[in-house]
Amino acid sequence: MNDVELAAELGFRSEHADVNGTRLHYVIGGDGEPLVLLPGWPQTWWSYHKVMPKLAERHRVVAVDLRGMGGSAKPADGYDKKTMAADIGELVRHLGHDRVDVAGHDIGSMVAFSLAANHPDTVRKIAMLDVPHPSDSFHELRVLGPGTLWWFAFNQLDTLPAQLLEGRARYLVDHMIDRIAVRRDAITDRDRAIYAAAYDTADAIRAGNRWYQAFERDIEDLRGYEKVTTPVLGLLAPWVREPVEAAITEAATDVRIREIPDSGHYLAEERPDAVVEELTRFFG
């Protein structure tokens, strides 16, 4: 199924907007205060499909494919989180909003934080799901052992990922989900096929690589930011709580941390009811 059909299945619309020199795909629906949802790698806006209908009872929900993701354009550059945050800021204005709430997961969490750091007047509150903004702590990530985040290094490579994965992205999607999800069955064969289709081309693989290749730039940008004063909710899986909580609280002044038990990395799919409850309580 394509994005138009998937969005309609949820009672949403699939749209595009030309912003900040690129073209973003987003899915929109619901009524109320605007809430922007930003996904991560290797997924698309569909990673929020379980929480979107419930959130849309209180919010105008906008689930966005980031620059380089899914139905959005895949330009040669602009994958630092500051530029990607500017994409979202312009999309917010394109949609006629002055201020929005934002929830981001994985790469989307990094972009949400950068939006609050660089465009504080655009953001009322942000929720960061399971991942902090890149910081100097990323230089200390493990290379050896069962806890290694091997894909951080893999995605730094220029051509090899596309050579290995073009037409074979399903192997990557299955590996990632089976490795860092707790409730693996919560992400179905159909969900996995949707993600694999979005990352099966060389251009899509290279775009995803560039989010990681920009980490050094992101780290340098963070060094120049003042502490973010926007209220921040950290929704964290138990296995990452300690380091991610430390990173978020170091970078922001008004932080609430909530652990989502019995979940791995994919919070909105593994524990959608808990995520909806926490986001509703936080955003109001």
The three-class DSSP label of residue 22 is strand
pLDDT tens readout for residues 81-90: 999 999 999 9
- Decide if pLDDT at 1 tops 90: no
pLDDT tens readout for residues 226-268: 999 999 999 999 999 999 999 999 999 999 999 999 999 999 9
Catalytic choice (80, 106, 130, 221): 106
Catalytic choice (218, 221, 265, 266): 265
For tokens 């998937």, name the residue.
6
Domain count, the chain: 1
CA of residue 242 relative to chain centroid, distance = 20
265 included as an active-site residue? yes
pTM listed for this prediction? 0.98
pLDDT for the residue 7:
98
pLDDT tens readout for residues 39-75: 999 999 999 999 999 999 999 999 999 999 999 999 9
- Decide if pLDDT at 147 tops 90: no
Closest by CA to 38, choosing from 29, 47, 51, 28, is 47
CATH number, domain of 214, equals 3.40.50.1820
pLDDT tens readout for residues 171-230: 999 999 999 999 999 999 999 999 999 999 999 999 999 999 999 999 999 999 999 999
Amino acid at 205: I
106 included as an active-site residue? yes
Catalytic choice (212, 218, 221, 266): 212
β strands within the chain, DSSP E: 13-19, 22-29, 33-38, 59-65, 100-105, 123-129, 232-236, 255-259
- State the Cα–Cα distance between residues 56 and 37, nearest whole angstrom: 12
Q: Which two tokens stand for residue 187?
A: 């992400």
pLDDT for the residue 146:
79
Closest by CA to 86, choosing from 119, 63, 58, is 119
What is the band of 275 on the pLDDT scale with cuts at 50, 70, 90?
A: very high
Domain that holds residue 223: 3-283
Angle between helices 81-94 and 215-223 (to 10 degrees): 80
Contacts of 8 (CB under 8 A, 6+ apart): 14
The three-class DSSP label of residue 63 is strand
Q: Which two tokens stand for residue 64?
A: 């966005």
What is the band of 144 on the pLDDT scale with cuts at 50, 70, 90?
A: confident
Closest by CA to 124, choosing from 147, 108, 153, 101, is 101
